[in-house]
C-alpha cells in the first residue's frame, strides 16, 4: 500500500462511473474472461463505451435483477469473471436470496456493484436510497465489501478484485467524488488507510463521509484536539488491527457512514471494539429511518451526514472518555 | 411420432432398468434415513436415466471435464435421485448414498456443487437454477463450445417469477444449447397445482416466450429420448420438454398418498417399495 493523500481535496472532474468503465475496459482488454452484466441501467452507469468495445462480453438482461445475479453466477461456473451492476437497493435487497445462495453459498466468483449509495440517490428518492445494503451484504459469509472513495481508489480496486476468487460487493458513488488520493496511490484490501494521525480520538469513515471526517479533523485541530482519521474502505473483512490500535492508542472512536448506523460500518467497528478493547464510541450515520427525495446537500443535512455532526460526536465521545479516565483514577 | 430416433430395444430396456435402479437406491437411502423428498425424486427418475444413461456427454472419472454436458437440477429437493444416478454411473460408491443428510455428509437434501462429485450447480431455493443454467449456457456460447446444459424444473417451481425472467432472457440470447424439462407431476408441497395456482398450458407459456416446446410422457424412455433429439434440432432458440409425470411414480403407496412431496418412510414401507421396484426391475430385465 502506497498512499499519497490529495494535496487539494476538490471535486474530481472525472465521474466515478467513467473511471469504472475505463477500469473495466482496460481489464477486459487484458483478460478475455471479464464479462459485464447490467439490468437496464447500463447508460446510467456510463457503460455504453464498454458495450460498444466488447459487445459479446456485455449482457444487459433487462429489468431483472434476480436473473442477472443468477446468470452472473452461472457464467462464473464456466470460468468467466462477471461484474454485475445495478443500483444499490436492487443489487442487495431486491435479489438478496440470489446473491446469498447462487453466489455466496454456491461459492461463485462474482463481483456485484451497487451504485448510488445512501443519500447520493438524491432525486430518485427513498425507494432508491440504500441505507441497508452494507447491512444485508455483511451477513453473507466470505463476501468482501468495498466502498471506493474516489476515482484513483476505484480504478485500483476494480482491477485488483479481478485476481482473487470469490464474491465482492462494490458500493459505488456514480457521480463526481471529492479527490482524496493522488494518482499512483495503491491500496490493500482489508487494510484501512490512515489519512491523518492523532492521539485523542479516531474517526473511522467510509465513502462520502471520508471528506467530512477530514474536514472535522481540521476543525478539531483548531480546538487542540488531535483526531486520527482512518478510511475504512473495506467494510468486510474489517481491519481489526487498525481498530484495536485506534482503541488502544486514542481511547475513543467515532464512525461515519452514509448508511444506517445499524449493521453498517459503525456496527462492524463496535463488534471489534467490544470484543478486543472496549472504549467509548459514537456513530455518525442514518439513525434507523427510511430515505427521502431531495438534493444531496439537503439530504446530507437532513440525515446529519456532516462534518459538524462528526465534531459534535467527537466532543461527546471525548466527554465519555474523560469520565472513564476519571473513574479509573478515582 | 416417438421411436423415430431408433433407440434400440436393448438400450430402452437398459434405461428402464437404470431408472428403476435410481428409484431403488433413492428409497434405500431415504428409507434408511426415515424421511425425504420421494415424490419429486421418483417422478424425474426416467428423465435422469435417459440423460445420464444415454444423452449426456460425461466422464464419471473426470467430473469437471470441460467438454461435458451440464445438468442443473433446479428443483434441488430431487437431489437424492440425482445422487443415485451419479452413484450408479460410478461418480462415487453407491454405499455413500446411505449418508444422505447425516452429519458431515457430502449428500445433502438439496444439490450442492461444492459437496457432491458430479453435481454441476448448487440449488434449493426454487427458481434460481434457471438463471444459473442460462449463465452456464451463455458461458459455453461465448467460448464457442458445444456443451449442452440440461435444466430440470419443477411444475410448482415455475410459479417463481425468477424462472420467467430466465426463460425470457434465454430466448432473447437464442440459447439453443439449453434444454429444460418441467417435471409436470401436478402436485406441489401443499397439494394440487390446480387448487393452489393453476399452471394453464406450460408448453404454451414457454412457446409464447420464444421457446421450442414439446409435451411428452415423462415415464416413456423412448419418448423422452426422441424429444431431446428433436429439441437439439431446434436452432436459434432454447427448448423445453414438459414431462407428463406422476409424483412418486413407481411406488404405488407414494403415487396414491394425498401428500407425497416429503414423506416419512418406515422400515415396512421401504420394504414394500423395494418389493414393488425389484419386481419391476425383474420384468424389465426379462
Average pLDDT, chain A: 97
| Confidence grade of residue B4 (pLDDT, cut at 50, 70, 90) | low
pLDDT value at position A330?
65
pLDDT above 60: residue B2: no
pLDDT value at position A328?
72
ipTM score of the complex? 0.94
| Confidence grade of residue B32 (pLDDT, cut at 50, 70, 90) | very high
Those residues whose C-beta lies under 8 Å from the C-beta of residue A63, and which sit 6 or more positions away, are A39, A40
Q: CB-based contact (8 Å) between A39 and chain B? A: no
Of A61, A62, A101, which is closest to B128 when you measure between CB atoms? A101
Over residues B277-286, mean pLDDT: 95
Q: CB-based contact (8 Å) between A24 and chain B? A: no
Over residues B37-46, mean pLDDT: 97
pLDDT value at position B9?
92
pLDDT value at position A326?
78
Contact B139 A59 (CB under 8 A): no
Superfamily, domain B9-285: Thiamin diphosphate (ThDP)-binding fold, Pyr/PP domains (3.40.50.970)
Contact B162 A70 (CB under 8 A): yes
Nearest to A43 by CA among A74, A18, A75: A18
Which tens digits make up the pLDDT trace of B123-174? 999 999 999 999 999 999 999 999 999 999 999 999 999 999 999 999 999 9
Contact B122 A74 (CB under 8 A): no
**Chain A 93-132, residues with CB within 8 Å of chain B CB atoms:** 97-98, 101-102, 105-107
Q: What is the pTM of this model?
A: 0.96
- Interior angle at CA A213, CA A212 and CA A218, nearest 5: 95
Over residues A94-113, mean pLDDT: 98
Contact A74 B133 (CB under 8 A): yes
pLDDT above 60: residue B1: no
Percent of chain A with pLDDT over 90: 97
Residue range(s) occupied by CATH 3.40.50.920 in chain A: 193-319
Alpha carbon distances (Å) from A134 to A131, A193, A268, B134, B136: 8, 19, 10, 28, 29
Average pLDDT, chain B: 96
Which tens digits make up the pLDDT trace of A248-267? 999 999 999 999 999 999 99
Over residues B96-113, mean pLDDT: 97
Please report residues of B whose CB lies closer than 8 A to that of A76: 135
Distance (Å) from the C-alpha of residue B12 to the closest C-alpha of chain A?
33
pLDDT value at position B6?
75
Please report residues of B whose CB lies closer than 8 A to that of A74: 121, 131-139
Percent of chain A with pLDDT over 70: 99
Of B114, B125, B139, which is closest to A78 when you measure between CB atoms? B139
CATH classification for the domain delimited by A193-319, as one of 3.40.50.920, 3.30.300.30, 3.30.70.100, 3.30.420.40: 3.40.50.920
Domains of chain B by residue range: 9-285
Please report residues of A whose CB lies closer than 8 A to that of B136: 74-75, 77-78
| Mutation site, A32, A61, A71, interface B, largest B CB count within 10 A | A71
Over residues B198-224, mean pLDDT: 98
Q: What is the CATH number of domain A16-172?
A: 3.40.50.970
pLDDT above 70: residue A27: yes
pLDDT value at position A323?
87
| Confidence grade of residue A325 (pLDDT, cut at 50, 70, 90) | confident
Which tens digits make up the pLDDT trace of A151-206? 999 999 999 999 999 999 999 999 999 999 999 999 999 999 999 999 999 999 99
Residues of A acting as catalytic residues? 65
Distance (Å) from the C-alpha of residue B147 to the closest C-alpha of chain A?
11
Distance (Å) from the C-alpha of residue B138 to the closest C-alpha of chain A?
7
Amino acid at each position: 500500500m502506497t498512499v499519497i493523500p490529495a494535496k487539494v481535496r476538490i471535486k474530481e472532474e472525472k465521474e466515478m462511473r467513467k473511471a469504472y468503465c475505463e477500469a473495466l475496459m482496460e481489464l477486459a482488454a487484458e483478460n478475455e474472461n471479464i464479462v459485464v452484466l447490467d439490468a437496464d441501467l447500463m447508460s446510467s452507469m456510463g457503460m455504453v463505451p464498454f458495450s460498444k468495445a466488447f459487445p459479446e462480453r456485455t449482457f444487459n438482461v433487462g429489468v431483472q435483477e434476480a436473473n442477472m445475479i443468477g446468470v452472473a453466477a452461472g457464467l462464473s461456473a464456466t470460468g468467466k469473471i462477471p461484474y454485475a451492476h445495478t443500483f444499490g437497493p436492487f443489487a442487495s435487497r431486491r435479489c438478496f436470496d440470489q446473491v446469498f445462495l447462487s453466489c455466496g453459498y454456491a461459492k461463485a466468483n462474482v463481483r456485484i456493484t451497487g451504485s448510488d449509495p445512501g443519500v447520493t440517490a438524491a432525486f430518485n428518492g427513498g425507494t432508491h436510497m440504500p441505507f441497508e445494503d452494507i447491512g444485508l451484504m455483511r451477513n453473507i459469509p466470505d463476501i468482501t465489501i468495498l466502498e471506493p472513495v474516489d476515482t484513483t481508489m476505484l480504478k485500483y480496486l476494480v482491477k485488483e478484485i479481478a485476481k482473487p476468487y470469490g464474491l465482492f460487493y462494490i458500493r459505488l458513488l456514480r457521480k463526481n467524488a471529492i479527490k482524496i488520493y493522488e494518482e499512483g496511490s495503491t491500496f490493500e484490501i482489508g487494510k484501512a488507510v490512515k489519512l491523518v494521525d492523532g492521539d485523542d480520538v479516531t474517526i473511522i469513515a467510509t465513502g462520502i463521509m471520508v471528506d467530512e471526517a477530514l474536514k472535522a479533523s481540521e476543525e478539531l485541530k483548531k480546538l487542540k484536539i488531535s483526531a486520527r482519521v482512518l478510511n475504512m474502505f473495506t467494510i468486510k473483512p474489517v481491519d481489526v488491527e487498525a481498530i484495536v490500535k485506534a482503541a488502544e492508542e486514542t481511547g475513543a472512536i467515532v464512525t461515519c457512514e452514509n448508511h444506517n448506523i445499524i449493521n453498517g460500518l459503525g456496527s462492524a467497528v463496535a463488534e471489534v471494539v467490544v470484543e478486543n478493547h472496549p472504549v467509548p464510541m459514537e456513530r455518525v450515520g442514518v439513525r434507523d429511518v427510511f430515505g427521502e427525495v431531495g438534493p444531496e446537500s439537503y439530504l446530507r443535512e437532513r440525515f446529519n451526514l456532516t462534518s459538524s455532526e462528526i465534531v459534535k460526536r467527537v466532543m461527546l465521545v471525548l466527554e465519555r472518555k474523560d469520565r472513564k479516565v476519571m473513574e479509573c483514577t478515582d | 411420432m416417438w421411436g423415430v430416433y431408433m433407440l434400440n430395444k436393448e438400450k430402452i430396456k437398459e434405461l428402464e432398468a437404470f431408472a428403476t435402479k435410481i428409484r431403488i437406491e433413492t428409497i434405500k437411502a431415504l428409507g434408511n434415513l426415515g424421511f425425504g423428498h420421494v415424490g419429486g425424486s421418483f417422478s424425474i427418475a426416467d428423465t435422469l436415466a435417459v440423460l445420464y444413461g444415454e444423452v449426456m456427454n460425461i466422464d464419471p472419472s473426470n467430473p469437471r471435464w470441460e467438454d461435458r454436458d451440464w445438468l442443473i437440477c433446479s428443483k434441488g429437493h430431487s437431489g437424492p435421485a440425482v445422487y443415485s444416478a451419479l452413484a450408479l454411473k460410478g461418480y462415487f460408491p453407491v454405499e455413500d448414498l446411505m449418508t444422505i443428510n447425516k452429519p458431515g455428509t457430502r449428500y445433502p437434501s438439496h444439490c450442492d456443487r461444492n459437496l457432491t462429485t458430479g453435481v454441476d450447480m448448487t440449488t434449493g431455493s426454487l427458481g434460481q437454477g434457471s438463471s444459473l443454467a442460462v449463465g452456464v449456457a451463455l458461458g459455453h456460447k461465448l467460448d464457442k463450445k458445444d456443451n449442452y446444459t440440461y435444466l430440470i424444473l419443477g411444475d410448482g417451481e415455475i410459479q417463481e417469477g425468477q424462472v420467467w425472467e430466465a426463460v425470457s432472457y434465454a430466448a432473447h440470447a437464442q440459447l439453443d444449447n439449453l434444454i429444460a424439462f418441467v417435471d409436470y407431476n401436478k402436485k406441489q408441497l401443499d397439494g394440487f397445482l390446480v387448487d393452489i395456482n393453476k399452471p394453464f398450458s406450460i408448453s404454451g407459456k414457454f412457446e409464447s416466450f420464444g421457446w421450442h416446446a414439446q409435451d411428452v410422457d415423462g415415464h416413456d424412455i423412448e419418448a423422452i429420448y426422441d424429444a431431446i433429439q428433436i429439441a437439439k434440432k431446434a436452432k436459434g432458440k432454447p427448448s423445453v420438454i414438459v414431462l407428463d409425470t406422476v409424483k412418486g411414480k413407481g411406488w404405488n403407496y407414494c403415487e396414491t398418498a394425498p401428500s407425497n412431496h416429503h414423506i416419512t418412510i418406515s422400515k415396512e414401507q421401504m420394504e414394500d417399495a423395494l418389493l414393488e421396484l425389484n419386481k419391476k426391475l425383474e420384468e424389465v430385465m426379462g
